[in-house]
């Protein structure tokens, strides 16, 4: 299972402030993704069993299908109108099926075309066609390209589907040139409210409440900073979720994001609401405007184990001497993604002595994090670049002084090395004080949907 190829931009459409449906672009926060991934690992290991609940065959069987995270690359069928339009223009080659290519890491338009036997001249023609086709230089893993070729492998039509709301359509013209246009799809978002109560496991409760697994994974990601879903879940815990269902022409395409959620764990209630501030930044906040997440991930590598801890002294096998270890080592397979543990700016990306390939990120004025022994850097990550929490910045390797592939991770506060495993992590930024009223206006409708749940449950228990 791989999470590294997920497309952050595949999720679009959101509710307007009035609660009416209004499509709009937004960027998925990668921080959520890494939490999902971490949680997914736990899910696999533990099947979300509640405490004191013995792992059993039943638990194993009820392990959810993680591949169904909704921030996946599954793209919808093009809308009917597009289908019809294409059908009309391709009557003469109707029998030729569209060939579909899912873009893989390292693919370029040229490499895809070459594999499909399309001439380099055509590749050139399309790449240089106009502003719209320039985006083909930036194709990303997981996106889809569909090709309609004739018997001589001449390109007749092409569709590039960068995300769920857009398709770039390229068609051969009569003069054997090409034309292009972008077709936008609008998804309608409708909020739904569901709630559940845990008897055995979270996923069982969700299934009973008809809540899809992908929504539950999002719920776990949102509250994952406060609740350890592998250990803390108790019988009697309950939750309520307001989330979007996204429709195209009255057909449900998929679930959207969670707009507000509540989780009562062992008697303590946590609430979160999704908010986009006037500058376009989105995140989950508690009703009083605090961020639901910390400013730093505890671990920058998923699927890893700690192979060396922070110590003032340890034996160094390569140097054959005692020295301090001012970071934590995460052993992981070569090529495992390394993620920025917090939002910040890359201040160093290069080779440095025993560190090998090293990235250093500054987070505001006080904090820096360092990532050593990298196999390589992620594309576009270099000194001066801004990065987001959870963004892939490089890949685990063994460059520099390393006995095997691992990440050497350092956390510094005001220039002093601190133990990343125990340092008190600061909260992520709360809602800006200037947006307090904006925040209230735009979130109360969803929070009040949650409060309805309290009343319902209170009524039921009387």
- Only one of the segments 117-125, 162-170, 259-267, 401-409 lies at the binding site for Zn ion (rule: CB under 5 A); that segment is 401-409
Q: Do the bridges between strand 305-308 and strand 328-331 make them parallel or antiparallel, or are there none, so unpaired?
A: antiparallel
- Only one of the segments 150-158, 180-188, 255-263, 402-410 lies at the binding site for Zn ion (rule: CB under 5 A); that segment is 402-410
CB of 412 to Zn ion, least distance (A): 14
**Cβ-proximal residue to Zn ion, closest one:** 408
Contact 95, 241 (CB under 8 A): no
Rg (CA), the chain: 25
CB of 419 to Zn ion, least distance (A): 12
Burial 404-428 (b: 16+ CB within 10 A, else e): ebbbbbbbbeeeebbebeebebbeb
Tell which one of 159, 339, 408, 412 touches Zn ion (CB under 5 A): 408
CB of 327 to Zn ion, least distance (A): 5
- CB burial class (10 A; 0-12, 13-18, 19+) of residue 279? exposed
Q: Is 294 in the site for Zn ion (CB under 5 A)?
A: no
The DSSP bridge partners found for residue 181 are 169
CB of 299 to Zn ion, least distance (A): 14
CB of 330 to Zn ion, least distance (A): 9
Side-chain-facing half-sphere of 401: CA atoms under 13 Å: 10
CB of 425 to Zn ion, least distance (A): 20
Contact 348, 362 (CB under 8 A): no
Contact 205, 199 (CB under 8 A): yes
Looking at beta carbons only, is 302 or 329 nearer to Zn ion? 329
Looking at beta carbons only, is 7 or 329 nearer to Zn ion? 329
Picking from 337, 383, 377, 328, the residue whose alpha carbon sits closest to that of residue 360 is 383
Q: Using DSSP, state whether 193 is helix, strand or coil.
A: strand
Site size for Zn ion, by CB under 5 A? 3
Q: Is 293 in the site for Zn ion (CB under 5 A)?
A: no
CB of 347 to Zn ion, least distance (A): 20
Looking at beta carbons only, is 53 or 348 nearer to Zn ion? 348
The DSSP bridge partners found for residue 101 are 145
Tell which one of 11, 163, 329, 343 touches Zn ion (CB under 5 A): 329
Structure tokens at 214: 């992908």
Looking at beta carbons only, is 257 or 339 nearer to Zn ion? 339
Looking at beta carbons only, is 385 or 417 nearer to Zn ion? 417
Q: Which of residues 414-453 bind Zn ion (CB under 5 A)?
A: none
Q: Which of residues 342-361 bind Zn ion (CB under 5 A)?
A: none
- Distance between CA 285 and CA 399 in Å, rounded? 40
CB of 147 to Zn ion, least distance (A): 47
Picking from 208, 299, 228, the residue whose alpha carbon sits closest to that of residue 270 is 228
Q: How many CB atoms sit inside 10 A of residue 403's CB?
A: 14
- DSSP assignment, residue 138? G
CB of 408 to Zn ion, least distance (A): 3
Contact 317, 452 (CB under 8 A): no
Structure tokens at 247: 């429709």
CB of 390 to Zn ion, least distance (A): 22
Contact 206, 196 (CB under 8 A): yes
Q: Which of residues 299-328 bind Zn ion (CB under 5 A)?
A: 327
- Only one of the segments 19-27, 170-178, 329-337, 415-423 lies at the binding site for Zn ion (rule: CB under 5 A); that segment is 329-337
Looking at beta carbons only, is 130 or 324 nearer to Zn ion? 324
Residues at the contact surface with Zn ion, assessed by CB under 5 A: 327, 329, 408
């Amino acid at each position: 299972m791989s999470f590294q190829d997920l497309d952050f931009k595949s999720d679009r459409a959101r509710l307007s402030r009035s609660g009416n449906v209004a499509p709009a672009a937004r960027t998925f926060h990668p921080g959520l993704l890494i939490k999902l991934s971490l949680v997914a690992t736990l899910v696999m290991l533990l099947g979300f069993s509640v405490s004191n609940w013995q792992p059993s065959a039943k638990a194993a069987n009820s392990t959810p299908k993680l591949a169904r995270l909704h921030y996946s690359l599954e793209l919808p069928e093009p809308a009917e109108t597009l289908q019809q339009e294409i059908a009309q223009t391709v009557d003469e080659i109707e029998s030729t099926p569209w060939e579909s290519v899912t873009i893989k890491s390292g693919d370029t338009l040229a490499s895809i075309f070459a594999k499909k036997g399309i001439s380099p001249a055509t590749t050139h023609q399309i790449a240089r066609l106009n502003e719209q086709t320039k985006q083909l230089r930036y194709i990303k893993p997981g996106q889809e390209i569909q090709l309609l070729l004739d018997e001589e492998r001449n390109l007749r039509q092409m569709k590039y589907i960068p995300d769920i709301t857009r398709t770039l359509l390229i068609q051969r013209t009569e003069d054997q040139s090409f034309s292009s246009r972008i077709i936008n799809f609008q998804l309608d978002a409708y909020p739904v409210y569901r709630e559940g109560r845990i008897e055995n496991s979270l996923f069982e409760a969700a299934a009973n409440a008809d809540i899809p697994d992908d929504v539950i994974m999002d719920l776990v990601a949102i509250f994952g900073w406060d609740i350890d879903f592998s250990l803390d879940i108790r019988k009697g815990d309950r939750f309520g979720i307001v989330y979007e269902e996204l429709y195209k022409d009255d057909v449900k395409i998929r679930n959207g994001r969670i707009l507000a959620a509540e989780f009562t764990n062992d008697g303590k209630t946590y609430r979160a609401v999704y908010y986009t501030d006037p500058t376009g930044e989105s995140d989950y906040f508690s009703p009083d405007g605090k961020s639901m997440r910390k400013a730093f991930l505890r671990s920058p590598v998923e699927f890893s184990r700690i192979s060396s801890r922070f110590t003032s002294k340890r034996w160094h096998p390569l140097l054959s001497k005692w020295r301090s270890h001012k970071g934590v080592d995460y052993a992981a397979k070569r090529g495992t993604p390394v993620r920025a543990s917090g939002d910040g700016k890359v201040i160093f990306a290069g080779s440095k002595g025993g560190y090998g390939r090293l990235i250093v990120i500054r987070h505001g004025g006080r904090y820096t994090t360092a990532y050593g022994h990298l196999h390589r850097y992620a594309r576009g990550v270099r000194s001066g670049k801004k990065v987001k929490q959870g963004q892939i910045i490089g890949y685990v390797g063994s460059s520099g002084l390393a006995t095997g592939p691992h990440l050497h991770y350092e956390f510094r506060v005001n220039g002093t090395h601190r133990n990343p495993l125990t340092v008190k992590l600061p909260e992520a930024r709360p809602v800006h004080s200037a947006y307090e009223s904006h925040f209230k206006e735009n979130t109360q409708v969803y929070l009040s949907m949650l409060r309805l749940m309290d009343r319902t449950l209170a009524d039921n228990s009387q």
